[in-house]
Amino acid sequence: MKLMKKKFKILIASLLLTTFILYTLSFIQTEQKVYQSFIHDDVLNKSESTQTFNYNDFIPPSSTSTEQESILYYGRVLKYYYANSIKVKDTDIDELELFFADFSDADKAFAIQNLLSSTINISIYGSSSDAEFFAESFSKWLNTPDEQKNKSWEITNNFFIEILPDILKQAGVLKYTQEKIVDIVNKKIDTESLVTYDTTLINLPSDPVDLKYGSTSLQNFAKNYWKGIGQNDAGALNYISKQFSSQNYSALEKAYSVVKNWMYDSYTPASSESIASFNAFNTNTYSSFDELDNELLDISQANDKVSRLPFKKIYDNLEATYLLKTPKSSNDFEQWTYADTQNLKELTLFLYNMLFSLISNETWVENLLTGFIVSPDSPLKSNDENVMGYTSTSSSNQGAEYSYIVLTGISLTYKEFNSQYTMGFWSSPAKFNTLIHEFGHALDAFGSKPNSARSNNYKKDIHYWEMYSGNIFGDYIPTSDFTFEFWKDPSSTIIIGAIGIVSVVSITYLSLNYKSRKKNEEKEKD
């Protein structure tokens, strides 16, 4: 009998240890996926395809040398659309193919597609992955002032209002939706109304858009954008190289001789018709911020009576704190004002109204996020000191399940036309761009959600302390230590263990990695 009891105790201890290890590993996996694309064998097995590709083909993630997103795949779809919405010389393509002669056929086509796409959507950070590319494109579309709306914005606007709503109806991981999605894009590409970006221009238009980039000439800006400024500031070519397993930067560096002359059409103004179509796209489903906030409070309140989406409480608490003193680490951050709070609320209302215009289902829109947190912590707890925010998405082999956003409050004090934008690091010059970028990730994840997940808020499946264990703006106060709570409740141990076993992949995008540039970086470390 004693021997049986001993074996039983050993068994129980082993199960507890295994559960703890699974739980711990899920956090390690999350932290290791900071800048990398993600994949899991149960979601999409990497294939050794012999299929040949051209730069304007849809290139599935499984066909390229790096393991790209099968859950967050809208960036890959958008690149396909861009590659077919651009005019480029055959000689330029031939020259680029020579530079990439050592690449696989799929990688060669994908490298050229990335160069074309990063010409249309100017964002060094967006060049690093499909996911960041989509988030930056979403920011450009939703949060660019009318005065800076250019040909690139017009092409992007056409994608979001004419193509994406139909794509969003195709729920699930890419291997189940690819055929229908490509067909949707092709129908738009084949129309005579397709707006194209012209890389063959050799002069600026007669009425160029003032994009307010820092360089005095397009030639200087193009050089800084593609190659970077100095040793510490990588350009778009370096970021593109991160998408390939070999990270063959030397081959991409040669491409500068071709791409440096492609950007003149970025200074062509967007048509008045496209701006009008953008404004008309807004259905204004929610008439006021307070109405929206009440809806989100209600849908996201779990058994603990704590709302996971308390936007008004967060913004008001942030205002009360930052009006007294706004933390500033460089000249790119500015003092908080009452007007900032009002503008942030209006932007959030506009954001949700545009999300409804895209998705056309109120329940799905309100379930887009399971949690929204803004923290006074800087840096965010347990993350790199330069991270301004992240979007975490939990997924199974059926697709994404839920997403939540964590921002540091200081990211919302980043001023308009900041130094990062003027060097081409971000796609939009507008304030509060961190918020819009992160919602771009959440929208990307929504695309792969099965309809059952879209109808579920998952508010009972995750607590505030699981989303973020540091300080937060709002009225939620942690009641006990995380470690104590974990071991105190046996049911939570079982649930956490089950998550470690069932969840195919749990990813966190530490997006918007604020990297201080040049001398500012050293000053801020002092």
Is position 32 within any domain?
no
SS3 state of residue 68:
coil
Do 252 and 286 belong to one domain?
no
Our CA angle for 185, 255, 253, nearest 5°, is: 120
Is position 2 within any domain?
no
d(CA 307, CA 298): 7
Do 371 and 484 belong to one domain?
yes
SS3 string of 325-340?
A: CCCCCCCCECCCCHHH
Looking at 278, 298, 319, the residue that finishes a domain is 278
H-type alpha helices, 244-336:
249-254, 256-259, 272-281, 289-299, 311-324
Q: What is the largest CA-CA distance in the chain?
A: 93
Do 399 and 266 belong to one domain?
no
Is position 404 within any domain?
yes
Do 179 and 318 belong to one domain?
no
State residue 170's pLDDT score.
94
Do 218 and 292 belong to one domain?
no
The domain tally of the chain equals 2
C-alpha pair distances (Å), 82 with each of 70, 154, 169, 204, 349: 19, 12, 21, 21, 29
Extract the tokens encoding 393: 């998405």
Do 211 and 358 belong to one domain?
no
Range of the domain at 68: 61-278
pLDDT category of residue 24 using cuts at 50, 70 and 90: very low
d(CA 151, CA 331): 31
pLDDT category of residue 277 using cuts at 50, 70 and 90: very high
State residue 298's pLDDT score.
92
Do 398 and 496 belong to one domain?
yes
pLDDT in tens, 133-191: 999 999 999 999 999 999 999 999 999 999 999 999 999 988 889 999 999 999 999 98
Do 399 and 428 belong to one domain?
yes
Is pLDDT of 12 > 60?
no
Looking at 252, 278, 304, the residue that finishes a domain is 278
User: Once rounded to an integer, what is the mean pLDDT over residues 352-372?
Assistant: 97
State residue 40's pLDDT score.
24
Is position 306 within any domain?
yes
Do 312 and 261 belong to one domain?
no
pLDDT category of residue 487 using cuts at 50, 70 and 90: very low
Do 408 and 503 belong to one domain?
yes
Do 240 and 299 belong to one domain?
no
Extract the tokens encoding 223: 């050089």
